Amino acid sequence: MFTGIVEEIGVVEKVIQGNLMQLTVRAQKVMEQTKIGDSISVNGVCLTVVLLGKDSVTFEIMKETQEKANLKTLKNGDKINLERAMGANSRFDGHIVSGHIDGTGKIKNKIANSGEFVLEIEADKNLIAYLVPKGSICIDGISLTIVDVKASSFSIGLIPQTLKTTTLGIKQTNDKVNLEVDLLSKYVFRYMDNNIKAGTKISENYLRNLGFGED
């Protein structure tokens, strides 16, 4: 599990394309106490460490993950967001992030607004359904708060610190980003959808039968 708080911006050192893509990244911070078999979030995707160098870490990426995320477009010199898996004694500064990408979005607009930037991101309507204003979303491994939600896009605000410490500061219009919607929203959505299909109506009696409203 991750928190969406990026620890370091790594640099792609080597990419070997194939059904089992191999990705080597130059890094420092995330290599501390890391061993083969550990999990690291790479642009929001949970990947397993298969090789450690003096100042680099290597991952293998399955075909399904390549198709789901934006990692297959990486090339030497590209910058990526990195975060080690959360420790049991760590502070929880972001939100619950699994590292299992739901899909990709495309940056539609990047607007400067009194010292901050507002990004508008186009996404599939199936993902938009899980989003709410002031809710959480993970973009390229970054825990962010949603400002507004439209039919086929949503917007987020970025402070200068986020622009400086993540790759969103160098992203441009039409760039693809990895998206993971809030895990809790998926469970609620699935529960409500199943009840609607079963003909269950949310009412005062229904909620009382579940224990709500009791002293």
Q: How many CA atoms lie within 13 A of 182 on its CB side?
A: 19
Cα separation, 76 vs 214, in Å, equals: 60
Q: Would the CATH topology of 8-84 be identical to that of 103-192? A: yes
Beta partners for residue 137, in sequence order? 144, 181
- Please work out, in degrees rounded to the nearest 5, the angle formed at the alpha carbon of residue 159 by the alpha carbons of 130 and 1: 50
Cβ neighbours, 10 Å, residue 187: 10
Cα separation, 181 vs 158, in Å, equals: 18
Cα separation, 157 vs 174, in Å, equals: 18
Q: For residue range 164-201, list pLDDT tens digits in order.
A: 999 999 999 999 999 999 988 787 777 776 666 666 66
Residue 119 near residue 107, CB atoms below 8 Å: yes
Lowest mean pLDDT among 59-73, 83-97, 113-127, 130-144: 83-97
Q: Where are the domains of the chain?
A: 8-84, 103-192
Mean pLDDT of 129-149: 95
Architecture of domain 103-192: Beta Barrel (2.40)
pTM: 0.86
Candidate CATH numbers 2.40.30.20, 3.40.50.300, 1.10.10.10, 3.40.50.2020; the one for domain 8-84: 2.40.30.20
